[in-house]
Structure 1
């Protein structure tokens, strides 16, 4: 039986989730979309994408609804999720992609509207389970109603951290994500309420920024809570990012041992690479994290202690979405 999915928010992530579900062989079926953008524009943006190319599907509008490959998807323009007809549509799970309903209390609006479950496509606030497929998706139970799929950067970092901690033990660590610019940034310099740097032209600058991705590892791997931190550099690429993680381990290790452990752990969510790739090579790659064995380094101090550097690439859009859909499939199966 098909899992009936609704997408709330049809921006970058919402559209790519839709593409992923249509293009893969699964029992997921998107039956409804809610977005305040006019429907003609939604259809256009679904068809054409600068970073990921043209959508290989027949897309048209029939009345107020979207029709993709002959299947009708109902489109709504409700500002308040409580007004959506999720109960009437028998929605099994809502993919919450607006960036606004990111707490248990806020996402409860979808449950109140009749949806059975909610998966938030962003870090969540409050007492919400944070899940990275391939790392801790087994913590989900049939009783869970609202869950977070974490951030794209946490999905990149978490598998690397898990392998290091499981095999060698992590004392502490810090990370830096070299991250493609996103829709929250600007093309021309302008004011910014959060941080002045955030208001600088995204396509012309390397912009230091903050990220909660490393701290969020404590939500995914609880024994590391409070032991990791990090930052972000936003760079002029449309998508395709990587995470550099520096760690102090409990055991003395070699580059070969690190790489062997990563290779052994590789799966559909966590890929292993030995080629000299660059960011454009991983655009569209359907793993949440791609470990780069060519960039593993170890620096040893005079007292024998080591700093270990590991690097993982990730398509911060399509790779994250692919892993989130895996989480969605698992969540819906419970």
Structure 2
């Protein structure tokens, strides 16, 4: 048999193993509210090739490829346990099992590693929590996709309605079409139908009411059976407590803003400061996409090295706020054509760091350049550290942070030498450390952080909503602190 035939046979064998994993992953999700992860990447509703690629990607961060033959035994072991709602990372199970010297079987090790999700320790499955989207633009539609995707178990979050201004004839049909097809993020994964008579979009069985209103005061949510809901404001029209309080009507319990909050509105970067949210807090902000991209790695660097000062320069994809062609704009430069120019503009991300990391004493400055790409940005974080270090030490540290720390859902790591912005479309992390571009000399470190300013940020929004709704399930094995 030739080498090529050996490789092909090996591939077909791995395909067969992966095919056997898919129904197990699906059943755990539907029946027990367990999300199976591989190095923080969900394997729920993924294809054979997607699961195999996720295993292969492990070599980028762990240094060696992970095989489905290694992870399948852990997945099978999970089916024998009395699991409650949780997220279980079989990549971490496989990695920590290799390092364990107690001589345990896979079944014994798995039972111990996920003990917090079994038996008397497991949390109860909760009733679905209603969610309303106020606005249905770029972020609103991606948040909708994520909410629909995560509704598979029938528990957790349930998208009940979107509130928009009436846009003319066939408004709901056109909005459903924008949800169904996206020029950047591709086709919606599932089916979408429209009932114009009842003003309802049905996406993968989820009935979503489309409510037309030009002001929050016009909406009676209780008339649609909506109760104790979390409203996600994607418009950015109101950013202070007074304005956002308009949403707190019967049926709405909390308001989450997908833009930086002003005044005393808490700016939350999930993974960093979500624990500061008071139980009775009704209004909060998810800050900006750039704030979410820089704060987790900034915290990681502060924790290990100390940060004396820093500057962030963001090279940001253009947004809907800019003009396609030169036209009037209230900002000085944003009126110039977005797809034809690099546009120097301001960023509030640096000042927002103080809200998310109040204990950070370092002064962080920032500026931004909008560039002619429709999605994925990069933040260049230039830091003066409290001690000298080396490039190798920083990269090893950040690689481990991305794999095993509490920030592993926020920080990703890539060592591919040929990576470019479009490679990160659809990334679910807040930011991705580019190892090849990282520069360290003495006490100066320059980190290049890619981020999908649409999808990655939307994932952070969902995490905040899950946290305040009480359906943010624990992850096992527990990340290293």
TM-score using structure 2 length: 0.66
1:291 aligns to 2:426 (yes or no): no
Instruction: Answer with 84-93 or 66-75: which moved more.
Output: 84-93
Whether the 8 Å contact between 1:83 and 1:113 is mirrored in structure 2 is no
1:60 aligns to 2:60 (yes or no): no
Deviation, structure 1 residue 145: 0.9
Find the counterpart in structure 2 of residue 167 from structure 1.
Answer: 304
Find the counterpart in structure 1 of residue 180 from structure 2.
Answer: 47
Equivalents in 2 of 1:83, 1:261: separation in Å? Answer: 52
Deviation, structure 1 residue 298: 2.2
Find the counterpart in structure 1 of residue 241 from structure 2.
Answer: 104
Equivalents in 2 of 1:248, 1:151: separation in Å? Answer: 24
Partner of 1:224, secondary structure, is coil
Find the counterpart in structure 2 of residue 229 from structure 1.
Answer: 365
Equivalents in 1 of 2:356, 2:160: separation in Å? Answer: 31
Find the counterpart in structure 2 of residue 34 from structure 1.
Answer: 163
Equivalents in 2 of 1:327, 1:265: separation in Å? Answer: 21
Whether the 8 Å contact between 2:429 and 2:451 is mirrored in structure 1 is yes
Find the counterpart in structure 1 of residue 451 from structure 2.
Answer: 314
Q: Which runs of 5+ in 1 are unaligned?
A: 301-305
Find the counterpart in structure 1 of residue 389 from structure 2.
Answer: 253
Find the counterpart in structure 2 of residue 6 from structure 1.
Answer: 132
Instruction: Answer with 200-209 or 35-44: which moved more.
Output: 35-44
Distance 1:309 1:45, change over 3 A: same
Find the counterpart in structure 1 of residue 218 from structure 2.
Answer: 83
Deviation, structure 1 residue 74: 1.0
Which has the larger Rg?
Answer: 2
Partner of 2:248, secondary structure, is helix
Matches within 5 A, 1:267-278: 267-276=408-417, 277-278=419-420
Partner of 2:193, secondary structure, is strand
Find the counterpart in structure 1 of residue 355 from structure 2.
Answer: 219
Whether the 8 Å contact between 1:192 and 1:199 is mirrored in structure 2 is yes
Q: CA RMSD in A?
A: 1.6
1:332 aligns to 2:469 (yes or no): yes
Deviation, structure 1 residue 256: 1.7
Equivalents in 2 of 1:93, 1:145: separation in Å? Answer: 9
1:19 aligns to 2:145 (yes or no): yes
Number of positions where the alignment pairs a residue of Structure 1 with one of Structure 2 = 328
Tell me which of the two structures has the higher relative contact order, counting C-alpha pairs closer than 8 angstroms and 6 or more residues apart. 1
Equivalents in 1 of 2:371, 2:444: separation in Å? Answer: 26
Q: Which runs of 5+ in 2 are unaligned?
A: 1-126, 403-407, 472-481
Find the counterpart in structure 2 of residue 303 from structure 1.
Answer: none
Instruction: Answer with 78-87 or 311-320: which moved more.
Output: 78-87
Deviation, structure 1 residue 180: 0.7
Whether the 8 Å contact between 1:8 and 1:35 is mirrored in structure 2 is yes
Equivalents in 2 of 1:269, 1:201: separation in Å? Answer: 33
Partner of 2:252, secondary structure, is coil
Distance 1:94 1:27, change over 3 A: same
Cα deviation, 1:110-150, whole Å, max 9, x if unaligned, reads: 11343111111110111011111111111123111111111
Find the counterpart in structure 1 of residue 334 from structure 2.
Answer: 198
Whether the 8 Å contact between 1:134 and 1:270 is mirrored in structure 2 is no
TM-score using structure 1 length: 0.94
